[in-house]
Amino acid sequence: MMMNSMWLTIVFVLVIFVVKNTNGLPRFANYFQDHMVLQRAPQRAIVWGYADSSNASITLRMNNQIHTTVSLSESIWSVTLDPVSDEGPFDIHVSQSLTNGTNVTITLHDILFGDVWICSGQSNMQMSVIDVFNGTEEINNAGNFTKLRLFTVALIPSASPIEELLGMWLNWSVASPQSVGGPSFTYMSAVCWLYGRMIHQALNGRPMGLIATSWGGTNIELWMPPQALQDCKISNGNLNIDGAPTLNNSNLFNSMIYPFTRMTIYGVIWYQGESNAEHNRDKYSCAFSKMIEYWRMVWYARTNGSTDLQFPFGFVQLATFENNSMIVGGFPWIRWHQTFDVGYVPNNVVPKVFMAVALDLRDDPNRSVQEKNKISYSYYN
Q: State pLDDT tens for residues 101-118.
A: 789 999 999 999 999 999
- Cite the residue boundaries of each domain of the chain with CATH code 3.40.50.1110: 112-377
What's the pLDDT score for residue 15? 40
In tens, the pLDDT along 119-173 reads 999 999 999 999 998 899 999 999 999 999 999 999 999 999 999 999 999 999 9
For residue range 235-263, list pLDDT tens digits in order: 877 777 766 678 999 999 999 999 999 99
Q: Which residue has the higher pLDDT, 16 or 45?
A: 45
How does residue 19 score in pLDDT terms, banded at 50, 70 and 90? Answer: very low
206-234 pLDDT, tens digit per residue, is 999 999 999 999 999 999 999 999 999 99
Query: Cβ contacts of residue 35 below 8 Å, gap of 6+?
Result: 109, 110, 111, 149, 172, 173, 174
Q: So what's the pLDDT on residue 77?
A: 97
Residue 353: phi, psi to the nearest 5? -115, 140
Mean pLDDT of the chain: 89
**Residue 89, preceding peptide bond in cis (omega within 30° of 0):** yes
CATH of 112-377 among 1.20.120.350, 3.90.1300.10, 3.40.50.1110, 3.40.640.10: 3.40.50.1110
Q: For 26-45, how does the pLDDT look when each residue is reduced to its tens digit (9 = 90+)?
A: 999 999 999 999 999 999 99
> For residue 363, what pLDDT is reported?
64
pLDDT at 210: 98
Task: Report cis status (omega within 30 of 0) of the bond before 168.
Answer: no
What is the model's pLDDT at position 227?
97
SS (H, E, C) the chain: CHHHHHHHHHHHHHHHHCCCCCCCCCEECCCCCCCCEEECCCCCCEEEEECCCCCCEEEEEECCEEEEEECCCCCEEEEECCCCCCCCCEEEEEEEECCCCCEEEEEEEEEEEEEEEEEEECHHHHCEHHHCCCHHHHHHHHHHCCCEEEEEECCCCCCCCCCCCCCEEEEEEECCHHHHCCCCCCCCEHHHHHHHHHHHHHCCCCCEEEEEEECCCCCHHHHCCHHHHHHCCCCCCEECCCCCCCEECCHHHHHHHHHHHHCCCCEEEEECCHHHCCCCHHHHHHHHHHHHHHHHHHHHHHCCCCCCCCCCEEEECCCCCCCCCCCCCCHHHHHHHHCCCCCCCCCCCCCCEEEECCCCCCCCCCCCCCCCCHHHHCCCC
Residue 16 scores a pLDDT above 80:
no
Rounded Cα–Cα distance for residues 286 and 341 (Å): 9
Reported confidence tier of residue 376, pLDDT bands at 50, 70, 90: low
Q: Indicate the CATH number for domain 24-111.
A: 2.60.40.10
CATH 2.60.40.10 segments of the chain: 24-111
pLDDT at 331: 86
Following CA atoms 292, 379, 124, 129 in sequence, which dihedral angle do they give, to the nearest 10 degrees? -130
In this predicted structure, the answer to whether residue 325 has a pLDDT above a threshold of 60 is yes
The band of 100, judged by pLDDT with boundaries at 50, 70 and 90, is confident
Q: How far apart are CA 169 and CA 153, in angstroms?
A: 6
Q: What is the pLDDT of residues 54-70, one digit of tens each?
A: 899 999 999 999 999 99
- pLDDT above 50: residue 266: yes
What is the torsion angle, in degrees rounded to the nearest 10, for the CA atoms of residue 381, residue 329, residue 279 and residue 367? Answer: -70
